[in-house]
Amino acid sequence: MRHPVFPPPYRHKHSPIKNVNEVIKEQLTVGQKAADWIAAKVGSWHFIIGQSILLTVWVILNVTAWIRHWDPYPFILMNLVLSLQAAYTAPMIMMSQNRKADHDRIEAHIDYEVNLKAETEIRAILENLEAQNVAIAELHRMLEELYTGKAGGA
């Protein structure tokens, strides 16, 4: 009787899988947190609606002169304020986007590591299944020998 040979038990030789969000959160500086906060606020409907209301009120007050003309038509001061806002928010939004691109790169690398680990474990599972197939085939052959031996001798 031939004994089936099974591969040795699989041992996990890898570190635990990392949560990308936790890895990134640990590395954030105050400036990066500020850039993310500003990008989130400026890129919201609340900001757009609030700014639209503020600009509408600005124009109405200056056209009708209810208080006084602090910025008469063509609203040079309003253009200056909006230009300053754009000059400061655009680089902050870009910083936030660059950081998110770094986040995506780290996430892609961790996905690659997980895929490598999964491939190794799948290979071990397939080797074990192949050994089981060989063992089952040998057991099947042995049962047939027993069956045919009893059937022939009976």
- For residue 56, the model assigns a pLDDT of 95
pLDDT tens digit sequence for 68-83:
888 988 999 999 999 9
Band of pLDDT at residue 41, cut at 50, 70 and 90: very high
Which DSSP string corresponds to the chain? -PPP--PPPP---SPPPPPHHHHHHHH--HHHHHHHHHHHHHTSHHHHHHHHHHHHHHHHHHHHTSS--SS-TTTHHHHHHHHHHHHHHHHHHHHHHHHHHHHHHHHHHHHHHHHHHHHHHHHHHHHHHHHHHHHHHHHHHHHHHHHHHHHHH-
Residue 49 predicted with pLDDT over 70:
yes
Q: Please tell me whether the overall predicted TM-score, pTM, comes out greater than 0.75 for this model.
A: no
